[in-house]
Amino acid sequence: MPPSKAEPAHLVLEDGTVLTGHSFGSRGTVLGEVVFNTGMTGYQEVLTDPSYAGQLVSFTYPELGNTGVNPDDQEADVPHARGVIARQLAPRPSSWRCNEPLDVWMQRQGIVGICGVDTRALVRHLREGGAMNGVISSDGRSPTELLAEVRSAPSMKGLNLADQVTTSEPYRWTSACSVGFDQRLQTSSAESFHVVAVDFGIKRAILDRLVAHGCDVTVVPAHADLDQVMSHRPDGVFLSNGPGDPSAVSSGIALARQLLQQAELPLFGICLGHQILGLALGGRTFKLAYGHRGLNHPCGTTGQVEITSQNHGFALDADSLATESVEVTHLNLNDRTVAAFRHRQQPVFGVQYHPEASPGPHDADHHFGRFVALMADRRR
């Protein structure tokens, strides 16, 4: 149901599709790439994940807001998704962890939302036509006027958004699941490993999992150069997730190429970081028709499957990777795209999905342990 005294709102896609519903959250007009997420939970993590920068997110789960919002589930200081598309807004939240309703939080954070639209029909449309730009508006403008505006917006392809969401200054990250809600591994080893994490749009849950596996983490900006990274004397370097087109992140690709020349230095990339590693190794990326955004994507090879959390609109081209140096270790079993790879000669690997699982299943958490094992081997 819409909030009380809800204003009418429009969602207009660049192909001329118009959906009319009710405004919730902040009132106004916002443009972005319209994508969909199939997860049944985790809307707060999605909205605060920097990887969703520049996007209007449609949730396929039919009711949004039923657990409210709390400060512990933030993936960044501020939300990064530009807008929210929902079938129905919960009339009141019900969770012991709730601090405030989703609608109130979105108003405070300036996130524009539309509810009361047929999200199932919208998702079918995006699956057939591909992710496309759109606009959510509740300021009284006509769909005709909005269509002209959305058609002038740039495509996600070719956009470097990592520079817009990265940290401006290096910082240390030491907390790890301090609220006690995450019951996964917390290392008890006295040995720690210094990891430099390159922030292309990093999630707090990733930093927490690195710390939980025994890492002392220094986060550096996306534009950091090799001297800046190596000045911290890392045991390993982590390349983070992030938004936009990986091929446009030229400084990150250049850094990854230089890091690969440090032959014994362990490197680990997740999502955008995985793609940047692949590009640095001579591969190519391409834009997926409608991307992978959800919590139940099966990934694996022969005999072993991980159910994974995913959020990406681009993928590595398997045929572009040099087989003499790169092994594809996991495929997305829905469409056979590259889900993970490793370097055959160096301690380097990347995973397209999110092993920190925030939200999502914990099948892939072992990849953090794998990274730590590579750093331990280097230290011996």
Q: Active site includes 264?
A: no
Distance of CA 82 to the CA centre of its chain: 14
3-state secondary structure of 199: strand
User: Are 69 and 105 a contacting pair, CB within 8 Å?
Assistant: yes
CA nearest to 356, candidates 77, 34, 33, 42: 42
Among candidate residues 14, 115, 213, 271, the one labeled active-site is 271
> In the chain, what is the straight-line distance between the N-terminal and C-terminal CA atoms, in Å?
60
Among candidate residues 274, 292, 354, 367, the one labeled active-site is 354
- Block residue for tokens 């403008």: 141
Q: Active site includes 213?
A: no
Rounded to an integer, what distance in angstroms lies between the CA atom of residue 16 and that of residue 148? 10
Rounded to an integer, what distance in angstroms lies between the CA atom of residue 275 and that of residue 245? 10
Q: Tokens for 223?
A: 């534009």
Q: Tokens for 172?
A: 């240390």
Strands 83-85 vs 55-59: parallel, antiparallel or unpaired? parallel
Q: Active site includes 98?
A: no
Rounded to an integer, what distance in angstroms lies between the CA atom of residue 350 and that of residue 367? 9
Rounded to an integer, what distance in angstroms lies between the CA atom of residue 13 and that of residue 126? 10
3-state secondary structure of 365: coil
3-state secondary structure of 130: coil
Q: How many CA atoms lie within 13 A of 280 on its CB side?
A: 27
Strand order in the sheet with 171-173: 171-173, 215-221, 193-199, 236-239, 267-270, 348-351, 338-343, 326-332, 285-300, 305-316
Q: Tokens for 348?
A: 């380097």
Query: Which residues participate in catalysis according to the annotation?
Result: 271, 354, 356
